[in-house]
């Protein structure tokens, strides 16, 4: 079974920007209502993926991801997704032996900046960067699947 274990934090300053090693623009949408799982299509640069993630809240969830043709992803985003498309730029920032992913949202979620770190286990220790603020791992408002129907601009 494929598992994703990640912790999510609000970002409190821009000091991470000078440490980012690369970035990638994402567009993603969801193909189903959230019952037992979410089914997401994502375009990351010139690559595209179909992702299935269990609907369980918390830091550990089942996750499966498959590469798909870019044109198929564009068509799915345009024709099949519920709610709005989530647009963000993901920056990759090394800190404390981990690669943190800092998502700067645009579109309906402009102003929201969230940092995530993937872990090997639920109880893994990690260094918290000085620009990482309040943890929101258990707050469903910050899940991308919820941002399509309840965007940040409406909070």
By annotation, the residues acting in catalysis are 30
Give CA separation, 147 vs 69, 70, 84, 131, in Å: 25, 23, 8, 23
String of DSSP letters for 106-145 = EGGGTT-EEEEEE-SSTT---PPPTTEEEE-TT-GGGSHH
Token code pair at residue 146: 């919820």
């Amino acid at each position: 079974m494929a598992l994703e274990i990640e912790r999510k934090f609000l970002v409190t300053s821009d000091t991470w920007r000078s440490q980012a090693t690369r970035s990638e623009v994402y567009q993603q949408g969801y193909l189903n209502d959230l019952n037992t799982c979410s089914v997401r299509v994502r375009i990351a640069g010139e690559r595209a993926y179909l992702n299935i993630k269990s609907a369980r809240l918390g830091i550990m969830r089942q996750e499966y991801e498959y590469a798909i043709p870019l044109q198929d992803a564009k068509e799915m985003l345009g024709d099949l997704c519920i709610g709005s498309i989530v647009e963000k730029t993901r920056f990759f920032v090394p800190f404390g032996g981990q690669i943190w992913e800092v998502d700067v949202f645009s579109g309906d979620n402009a102003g929201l900046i969230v940092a995530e770190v993937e872990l090997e286990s639920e109880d893994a220790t990690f260094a918290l960067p000085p620009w990482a603020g309040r943890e929101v791992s258990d707050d469903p408002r910050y899940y991308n699947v919820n941002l399509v129907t309840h965007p940040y601009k409406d909070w």
